[in-house]
Homo-oligomer: A and B are copies of this chain.
């Protein structure tokens, strides 16, 4: 029996996080964490479906939701088996719609919409296979993974045959690494102590608790006031001691010159990495900052909008490590391209998470990377923020400072139906009551 995708449903879902200053940083003082959420329905009598979303911080989530709906003509009516058998081809179809490509290309609202739909197809594929997404990828052959990737515009950094060789060399030990993941989990680091809106006392208390909870790295937000940052770095370092990593995150606050001055003033705190010192598009700017503040490691990536910019960050030696984000680029497929380039260039990946649902998604990518691509996890970690997980059917679970490997089939992307109902903007009960 042939089944087709029968509907692409969208939901504008928002959480009033600005009421508590959770998630406040130098660029984003009052975010309302939100999701432009998509569900793909099928004619499969067993109810096979797929869920995905774009994370936003409030206003504009309606625009993002409508952008997802603009992909309906490329999705509804498709044969389910054909889509799931060729997720690479499916992704390319969405990315290469010439009219929609004009709205990017491969960036911003339209590209994130494409990523959400591609991720929903991955959720569906993993459900159909009865596995979590990380395991679905981990158990693919090197050739199957290569076929998922659009090498267009990155051929000067990695070719399909180089990618194949890299995957083949990582193949030995996959079964053991899957076992290790299931038994030990994957390292996490936490940003929960360090939001700019928190008091010094709250910072110290939460930093101390984070170490007690088993985290080996914490991250704090910087960039609003240098004297504040020096004080807060000192408080954090005192709370965690010398053996725990202290990362800082400026959320694009600085120009190149300001970043250099500011980071030099924070050099005494043994910074694990300085994240998003300037505009995410500024490849050469990151390279200049990195050179000026060496050996302090520099990173960016959560706003890096596609594999072409990541490619250049690697080529220009602009970063020591990168964040990837599961909902910023063109879905799993483009993130696999980025992970392969990172592996080739020897750049460690510390996935961006937090927001709403980003932990749930990106853990799968990091775990697939560990099993099938980089083969390593002890020198890296996935961000963790303990917010809003209760809205998901398969919430991210962190114990003793490590993400537990998801065991449910799918991409951990599905939100509870009550959440979709109560948090619907602007007429869900959470919003209409305020």
Q: Contact residues of A with B, CB < 8 Å? A: 27-32, 56-60, 62-64, 66-67, 70, 73, 97-112, 152-156, 252, 255-257, 278-285, 288, 303, 305-306, 308-309, 311-312, 315-316
Evaluate whether A282 and B256 lie within 8 angstroms (CB atoms) in the complex, with A59-B70, A67-B109, A98-B31 already known: no
- Can you give 9 A-B contacts (C-beta < 8 A)? A57-B102, A59-B73, A59-B100, A60-B99, A60-B100, A63-B66, A154-B255, A155-B257, A156-B285
CB distance from A259 to the nearest CB of B (A): 10
Q: Of residues A70, A73, A111, A257, which shows the largest number of chain B Cβ atoms within 10 Å of its Cβ?
A: A70
**Contact between A255 and B153, CB atoms less than 8 A apart:** yes
The 5 closest A-B pairs by CB, nearest first: A108-B108, A59-B99, A109-B109, A58-B99, A156-B256
Nearest CB in chain B to that of A61: its residue: B99
Kindly provide the distance from the CB of A115 to the nearest chain B CB, expressed in whole angstroms. 12
Neighbouring B residues of A288 by C-beta, 8 Å: 156
Contact B156 A99 (CB under 8 A): no
Q: What separation, in Å, do the CA atoms of A311 and B286 have in the docked complex?
A: 13
> Is the pair B59, A97 in contact by a Cβ cutoff of 8 Å?
yes
Contact check, A27 vs B57: say whether CB atoms are below 8 A apart.
no
Closest residue of B by beta carbon distance from A282:
B308
**A315 to chain B: which residues have CB within 8 Å?**
284
Q: How many chain copies does the complex carry?
A: 2
Partner of A57, one of B99, B255, B305: B99
Q: CB-nearest residue of chain B relative to A105?
A: B303
Which residues in B have their C-beta under 8 angstroms from that of A32?
Answer: 99
Smallest Cβ-Cβ distance to A98: which chain B residue: B28
Q: Give A12 Cβ to nearest chain B Cβ, in Å.
A: 12
Give chain B nearest CB distance to A431 CB in angstroms.
15
Could you tell me the distance between the alpha carbons of A37 and B154 in the complex, rounded to whole angstroms?
Answer: 35
Give the nearest-CB partner of A308 in chain B.
Answer: B281
A111 nearest in chain B by CB position:
B108
Residue of B nearest to A102 (CB): B57
Residue of B nearest to A258 (CB): B155
A142 to chain B, nearest CB (A): 22
Q: Decide if A63 touches B59 in the complex (CB within 8 Å).
A: no
Smallest Cβ-Cβ distance to A151: which chain B residue = B255
**Chain B residues with CB below 8 A from A283, complex form:** 283-284, 312
Contact A103 B285 (CB under 8 A): no
A63 and B36 alpha carbons, distance in the complex (Å): 14
CB neighbours of A257 from chain B (8 A): 155-156
Whole-angstrom distance between the Cβ of A187 and the nearest chain B Cβ: 27
* Nearest CB of B to A301, in Å: 14
Known contacts A60-B103, A153-B279, then 10 further A-B pairs from the complex at CB < 8 Å, ordered by chain A residue: A59-B73, A66-B66, A104-B108, A108-B108, A108-B110, A154-B255, A156-B256, A156-B257, A282-B311, A283-B312
Among B56, B255, B312, which residue has its beta carbon within 8 angstroms of that of A102?
B56
| Distance from A328 Cβ to chain B, minimum over Cβ atoms (Å) | 10
The answer to whether A64 and B256 touch (CB under 8 A), given A31-B98, A108-B109, A281-B308, is: no
A185 vs B305: C-alpha distance in the bound complex, in angstroms? 40
In the bound complex, do residue A60 and residue B102 qualify as a contact, i.e. CB atoms below 8 Å apart?
yes
Closest chain B CB from A22 CB (angstroms) = 15
Min distance, Cβ A7 to any Cβ of chain B, angstroms: 19
- Closest Cβ of chain B to A360, distance in Å, is 19
Cβ of A278 and Cβ of B100 under 8 Å apart? no
Find the residue from A58, A67, A280, A315 having the highest chain B CB count within 10 A.
Answer: A67
| A111 to B28 alpha-carbon distance, docked (Å) | 17
Do residues B64 and A60 form an inter-chain contact, with CB atoms below 8 A?
A: no
CB distance from A381 to the nearest CB of B (A): 24
If A31-B98, A62-B66 touch, whether A252 touches B155 (CB-CB below 8 Å) is: no
